[in-house]
């Protein structure tokens, strides 16, 4: 019956006659090949139409004269499991907005579902369907594993860059981070430099560049400011975990509170813990918090919350040290007496007992020495 029709492999027949895609139909359609008629294509309301040159580099691309829409041959025949049911655009609905058609074709040709469909199609041409599906799945899984490994290798390099910048207390971001900027900031400039000597980073940068040029939009690059922040946060969590393990081992500790203000003149307090580990005195920066209110009561709340968050028991505290501007000393007096009321053993240490090194800048660098 199909063979009597003008375009027997037109997807529209599958829909019209409610054909169930069995192995014999797949064999039949594969013999016909993709439906690629060269005809006077109709114009849409915008005056645009399908272009025959789109077939040239896309062997999978089909045009349905009945539906005046394009489809993907490999997807419609070889992606029919439950998990692909929702992906109807290239399988049954079709793409007919010709203005964005080329972009959609390029987008599809770089998608994972396209890759799976194509591998299955090629496999089916030489094997039975079940063997072809199995072989294709293995190939797809191998490709996924390879991609996972590639991303891991990229991440290792990005973590090294993040650690280097954090240890040296260098800023990450640049004022102008666009690709045409002469100085994109330390993080991106270091990645570029890695790319000159390291094949993994070079390949990664080349792939992103190529995808961006084809799809005309930004790609997942693992280089965005959000990823940079995520890396810093993840590293800080793992470093803090090591520090807290040491403190818990040591059991007793002192706290050191150091006041400073950031570039925006926001009053900030750094929270440092002093303890003994391997018979050595350690002073470790834990975190910094903005001072919302400078009353002793408000600071006490912040310190208690900091202790609770880090699972540190105030009963194990043996000392408190403060170093800050003169205008904070009265407030610290309020704070230290409040903390001492909660634990009388938490003696106040003289100002000089705080190591000079215990300034935020040093402490933040120090935080990253662990990894």
Which residues sit at the interface with Zn ion, rule CB under 5 A? 72, 75, 90, 114, 117
User: What's the min distance (Å) between Cβ of 202 and Zn ion?
Assistant: 30
State both tokens at 365.
Answer: 């660098």
User: Which one, of 137, 89, 98, 95, lies nearest residue 117 by Cα?
Assistant: 137
User: What's the min distance (Å) between Cβ of 76 and Zn ion?
Assistant: 8
Measured from the Cβ of residue 106, the count of other Cβ atoms closer than 10 Å reads 16
Cβ nearer to Zn ion, comparing 78 with 253 = 78
Cβ nearer to Zn ion, comparing 109 with 207 = 109
**Cα Rg, the chain, nearest whole Å:** 32
* Number of residues that this document lists for the chain: 371
The b-or-e profile of 348-371 (16+ CB within 10 A means b, else e) is bbeeeebbeebbbebbbbbbbeee
User: What's the min distance (Å) between Cβ of 216 and Zn ion?
Assistant: 20
Cβ nearer to Zn ion, comparing 84 with 370 = 84
CB 163 within 8 A of CB 170: no
Cβ nearer to Zn ion, comparing 214 with 304 = 214
User: What's the min distance (Å) between Cβ of 58 and Zn ion?
Assistant: 10
User: What's the min distance (Å) between Cβ of 91 and Zn ion?
Assistant: 8
User: Which one, of 256, 255, 235, 275, lies nearest residue 365 by Cα?
Assistant: 235
Helix (H, G, I), strand (E, B) or coil at 310: coil
User: What's the min distance (Å) between Cβ of 184 and Zn ion?
Assistant: 36
State both tokens at 46.
Answer: 């915008």
Helix intervals (H) in the chain: 11-16, 23-32, 73-78, 101-109, 112-124, 129-167, 186-197, 199-215, 225-250, 296-309, 326-342, 360-367
Cβ nearer to Zn ion, comparing 103 with 359 = 103
- Which residues, in sequence order, are bridge partners of residue 250? none
User: What's the min distance (Å) between Cβ of 172 and Zn ion?
Assistant: 39
Distance CA 186, CA 189 (A): 5
DSSP 95: B
Cβ nearer to Zn ion, comparing 34 with 321 = 34
Cβ nearer to Zn ion, comparing 75 with 205 = 75
User: What's the min distance (Å) between Cβ of 69 and Zn ion?
Assistant: 14
Cβ nearer to Zn ion, comparing 211 with 240 = 211
């Amino acid at each position: 019956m199909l063979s009597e029709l003008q375009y027997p492999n037109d997807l529209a027949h599958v829909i019209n006659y409610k054909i169930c895609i069995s192995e014999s139909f797949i064999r039949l359609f594969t013999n016909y090949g993709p439906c690629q008629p060269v005809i006077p294509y109709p114009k849409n309301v915008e005056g645009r139409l399908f272009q025959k040159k789109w077939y040239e580099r896309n062997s999978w691309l089909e045009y349905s004269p009945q539906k005046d829409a394009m489809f993907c041959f490999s997807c419609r025949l070889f992606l029919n499991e439950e998990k692909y049911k929702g992906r109807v655009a290239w399988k049954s609905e079709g793409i007919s907005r010709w203005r964005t058609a080329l972009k959609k074709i390029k987008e599809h040709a770089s998608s994972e579902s396209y890759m799976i469909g194509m591998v299955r199609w090629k496999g089916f041409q030489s094997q039975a369907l079940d063997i072809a599906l199995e072989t294709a799945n293995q190939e797809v899984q191998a490709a996924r594993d390879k991609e996972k490994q590639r991303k891991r290798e990229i991440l290792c390099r990005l973590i090294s860059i993040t650690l280097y910048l954090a240890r040296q207390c260098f800023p990450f971001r640049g004022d102008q981070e666009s690709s045409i900027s002469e100085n994109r900031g330390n993080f991106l400039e270091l990645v570029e430099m890695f790319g000159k000597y390291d094949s993994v980073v070079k390949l990664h940068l080349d792939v992103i560049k190529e995808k961006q040029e084809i799809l005309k939009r930004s790609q997942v690059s693992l280089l965005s400011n959000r990823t940079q922040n995520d890396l810093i946060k993840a590293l800080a969590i793992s470093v803090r975990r090591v520090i807290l393990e040491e403190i818990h081992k040591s059991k007793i500790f002192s706290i050191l509170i150091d006041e400073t203000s950031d570039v925006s003149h926001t009053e900030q307090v750094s929270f440092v813990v002093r303890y003994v580990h391997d018979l050595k005195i350690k002073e470790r920066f834990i975190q910094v918090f903005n001072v919302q209110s400078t009353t002793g009561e408000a600071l006490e709340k912040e310190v208690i919350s900091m202790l609770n968050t880090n699972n540190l028991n105030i009963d194990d505290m043996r000392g408190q040290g403060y170093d800050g501007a003169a205008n904070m000393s009265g407030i610290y007096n309020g704070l230290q007496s409040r903390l001492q009321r909660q634990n009388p053993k938490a003696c106040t240490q003289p100002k000089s007992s705080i190591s000079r090194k215990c300034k935020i800048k040093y402490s933040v660098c120090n935080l990253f020495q662990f990894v």
